[in-house]
């Protein structure tokens, strides 16, 4: 018996629901087709987000681009992120009004502030707000911290949504400090739509923007676009500008000292 493609697809999805994991050879035998046919079927079904390919078979769909939970991600590339943040902190001057988005690199900026006065910090990051407030308490800076309103995103320890965007649209900033999920082909990406819209609005409302990206973000593409890379005044990274990215060498700053690997 010969099965049409749609019939094979229905059978594969049904078996996957029943078993959780399916094997190419078993499905090929059951449907009396070549294993190569089933591999092509798996490829198409993966593109439709109906399964995820694994060695020799497939499992139920899992989004491999999901962002790690905030606290867990905070521990990843810690030294590199803190060194990048220390360079970012050096860009903050007396009297600046700055905006800081949510990220596990931008959250460290406040730790490196020393003897800066009259700085207004606006952020949608609950974690960053705590750190900037601590910098004021410890008299490493003077100024104030404004936390944007919005809907909480527990995964990112942040505030997002229409209220956040509306508040930002009424503000103007000297400098924006932005994080990202990846950079590829001259485009800056984030994992989350709501987070990317907030970062994009921060950039639009700022005279100058700084992108903080550790080396793991290079040549990595996640789902939502924030901006073109050349919309940023400076890119702070613990790896030199890739050889094929000549157009961005002038805005690229290599932050020495962080470990990567």
pTM, whole model, 2 decimals?
A: 0.72
Q: Which fold is adopted by the domain 5-59?
A: Arc Repressor Mutant, subunit A (1.10.10)
The confidence score (pLDDT) of residue 3 equals: 77
The confidence score (pLDDT) of residue 258 equals: 40
Grade residue 4 by pLDDT with cuts at 50, 70 and 90. Answer: confident
Q: What is the mean pLDDT of residues 202-208?
A: 98
Q: What is the number of residues in the chain?
A: 261
Phi, psi torsion values for 10, nearest 5 degrees: -65, -40
HEC string of 116-174 equals EEEEEEEECEHHHHHHHHHHHHCCCEEEEEEECCCEEECCCCEEECHHHHHHHHCCCEE
Task: Retrieve residue 253's tokens.
Answer: 């700053």
Could you tell me which residues come within 8 angstroms of residue 231 by beta carbon, excluding any fewer than 6 positions away? 188, 203, 209
- Tens of pLDDT, residues 9-38: 999 999 998 888 899 999 999 999 999 899
Domain boundaries, the chain: 5-59, 70-254
Task: Retrieve residue 244's tokens.
Answer: 């094929």
Please say whether the beta carbons of 232 and 257 come within 8 A. no
Phi, psi torsion values for 98, nearest 5 degrees: -120, 160
Residue 205, class by beta-carbon neighbours within 10 Å (0-12 exposed, 13-18 middle, 19+ buried)? middle
Cα distances (angstroms) measured from residue 143 to each of 34, 78, 98, 195, 226: 69, 27, 11, 26, 29
User: Does 3.40.50.720 match the CATH number of domain 70-254?
Assistant: no
- Tens of pLDDT, residues 85-143: 999 999 999 999 999 999 889 999 999 999 999 999 999 999 999 999 999 999 999 99
The confidence score (pLDDT) of residue 261 equals: 30
Q: What is the mean pLDDT of residues 57-84?
A: 70
d(CA 246, CA 230): 12
- 217: Cα separation from own chain's centroid: 8
């Amino acid at each position: 018996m010969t099965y049409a493609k749609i019939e094979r697809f229905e059978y594969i999805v049904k078996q996957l629901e029943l078993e959780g994991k399916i094997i190419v050879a078993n499905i090929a035998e059951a449907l009396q087709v070549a294993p190569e046919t089933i591999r092509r079927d798996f490829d198409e079904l993966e593109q439709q987000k109906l399964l995820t390919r694994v060695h020799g078979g497939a499992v139920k769909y899992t989004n491999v681009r999901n962002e790690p939970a905030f606290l867990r991600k905070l521990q990843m590339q810690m030294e590199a992120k803190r060194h990048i943040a220390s360079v970012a902190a050096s860009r903050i001057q007396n009297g600046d009004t700055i905006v800081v988005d949510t990220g596990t690199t931008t959250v460290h900026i406040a730790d490196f502030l020393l003897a800066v006065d009259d700085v207004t910090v606006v952020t949608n990051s609950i974690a960053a707000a705590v750190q900037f407030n601590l910098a004021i308490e410890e008299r490493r800076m003077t100024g104030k911290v404004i936390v944007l309103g919005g809907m909480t995103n527990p995964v990112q320890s942040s505030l997002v949504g229409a209220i956040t965007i509306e508040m930002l649209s009424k503000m103007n900033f000297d400098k924006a400090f932005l994080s990202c999920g990846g950079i590829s082909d001259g485009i800056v990406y984030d994992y989350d739509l709501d987070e990317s819209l907030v970062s994009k609005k921060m950039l639009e409302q700022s005279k100058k923007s700084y992108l903080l990206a550790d080396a793991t973000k290079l040549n990595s593409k996640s789902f939502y676009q924030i901006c073109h890379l050349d919309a940023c005044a400076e890119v702070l990274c613990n790896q030199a500008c890739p050889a094929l990215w000549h157009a961005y060498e002038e805005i690229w700053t290599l932050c020495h000292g962080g470990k990567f690997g």
